[in-house]
Amino acid sequence: MSTLEPLLIQIVLLLLFSELGMGLVTDAQWAQYKAKYRKHYKSDDNYHRAIFNSRVQLVANHNRLYSQGKVGFRMGLSEFSDTDQGLLFRYRTAVPPPQEPSVGFVAKPPGYRHYSQISGGIDWRQYGLISAVENQGTDCLSCWAFSASGVLEAHLARKNSRLVPLSPKHLVDCVPYPSNGCLGGWVSVAFNYTRDHGIATKASYPYEPKQRDCRWKPQCSAGTLRGYVTLKNYDERELAEVVYNIGPVAVSIDHLHEEFNQYSGGVLRVPSCKSDKASLTHSVLVVGFGTDATWGDYWLLKNSYGTEWGEGGYFRLARNANNMCGVASLPQYPLV
C-alpha cells in the first residue's frame, strides 16, 4: 500500500460521513464554531465539518460513560475538534537526532527524598515556576519548542527566584537540523542550541504559528544551560523523585488518540497508548503529580494547546499505570 492510500481512504470515509451524518451539527452551530475559533476554509469546508460532526458524536458517547462512572475523564470540543491531527503529523519531517551523551548522574540536592519518602505529590505551579499556557496552533508542530523553553524557564526560575518566560518562537526559527521548526523538532537539540547560543525572552521574541528567518542576537540572551539529563530507566518512580526534588521535566508521549485530542478534564487513560520511543509524538511538561481520590495516581502536565483545552491547558495522565503513553520513556531536564 502506498503512503497516500491511507490518507485517501480516510478522506473518502469522512466525505461519506458528511453525506450521511451532516444533520448532527446544524448550519448555525457549525458557523458558530468557526466564528469562535476564526476558522476559514476554501474548498474543504465539508471535510472539516465531517471531522467536527464525528467529534461531536464521540464526545457525547464518551461523556455518557463518564456520567455513569465508567471512565475517569471527560471529553469536550476545542479548537482542534475539526482537525485530523493524525494526518497533520504525517507531514512531520524532523528525524531523530544522533544519540548524544547527556549527563547520566547528578548529585542529589540536600534534603533529597526517595520515592518511599514522598507523600501527597507536588505542583510546581504553586511555587511560581510555571509560565502561562500558550497555544502552538493547528498549523505548527512546535510542541518541542514549548516543552524545551518551558522546562528551562522553570529551572532558571527556581535557581534565580524569578520567573522570566522564554521564547519557543526563538527555538522554532533558529534551532538547526535535525529539528525542523513547525515540522517537528527535539528537546535535546533545543537544549544544545540554547547551551551554545542562549535563548530570548517571550516578550522580545513573541510566538506565531509559523517559522521565519532567525532574528536572534546572542548578546540579548535571557538564560542558558550547561547541560541536560535524560532519564533512561523507563521508571515512573525515578521520574517522580526527579520532579519532586529537582523540578519540572520535559517528556514526550504518544498523543495521536481521540481520548487525548478531545480531553477536557479528569485522569486520562488511553488503553491503546504505546510507550516505545518510536511512538512518542508530542512533547509536554511534567509540572507535578498527585493522587485522585477516585481514579488514583496521576501526572500533572502542561500542554501547548491553549487554556480552553483540558483543565485550563493542563491534563492529568494516569501514573503508575505501566508507563501510560510513554510518559517515562524520554524524560529530560536542563542543568542550569
**pLDDT value of residue 14:** 40
**pLDDT value of residue 21:** 43
**pLDDT value of residue 109:** 87
Considering only CA atoms, give the Rg of the chain. Answer: 20
Provide the 3-class DSSP secondary structure of residue 324. Answer: helix
HSE of 123 in the Cβ direction (CA atoms, 13 Å)? 11
Cis peptide bond upstream of 178, omega within 30: yes
- How far apart (Å, rounded) are the C-alpha atoms in residues 267 and 162? 31
**pLDDT value of residue 105:** 58
Going by C-alpha positions, the residue among 47, 14, 141 that lies closest to residue 89 is 141
Q: Verify whether residue 143 is a known catalytic residue.
A: yes
Q: 207 — phi, psi (to 5°)? A: -85, 145
Instruction: Tell me the domains of the chain and their CATH numbers.
Output: 4-77 (no CATH), 89-335 (3.90.70.10)
- How far apart (Å, rounded) are the C-alpha atoms in residues 269 and 32? 31
- How far apart (Å, rounded) are the C-alpha atoms in residues 201 and 326? 30
Strand residue runs (E) in the chain: 73-75, 122-123, 227-230, 249-253, 263-268, 282-292, 296-302, 314-318, 332-335
CA 120 and chain centroid, separation = 24
Contacts of 159 (CB under 8 A, 6+ apart): 336
- Beta-sheet pairing, 263-268 with 73-75: antiparallel
Strand residue runs (E) in 73-226: 73-75, 122-123
Q: Which of 53, 192, 303, 323 is catalytic?
A: 303
- How far apart (Å, rounded) are the C-alpha atoms in residues 293 and 32? 37
Q: Which of 155, 170, 257, 282 is catalytic?
A: 282
Q: Verify whether residue 322 is a known catalytic residue.
A: no
DSSP letters spanning 56-75 = HHHHHHHHHHHHTTSSSEEE
For the chain, list residues with pLDDT below 70.
Answer: 1-23, 85-105
Q: Between helices 187-197 and 143-160, what is the axis angle to 10°?
A: 50
**What sign results for the dihedral spanned by CA atoms 115, 121, 123, 127?**
negative
With 0-12 CB in 10 A as exposed, 13-18 as middle and 19+ as buried, what is 209? middle
Q: Which of 140, 143, 174, 182 is catalytic?
A: 143
- How far apart (Å, rounded) are the C-alpha atoms in residues 194 and 336? 11
- Beta-sheet pairing, 249-253 with 263-268: unpaired
- Calculated CA dihedral for residues 276, 292, 238, 283, nearest 10 degrees: 40
- How far apart (Å, rounded) are the C-alpha atoms in residues 327 and 271? 14
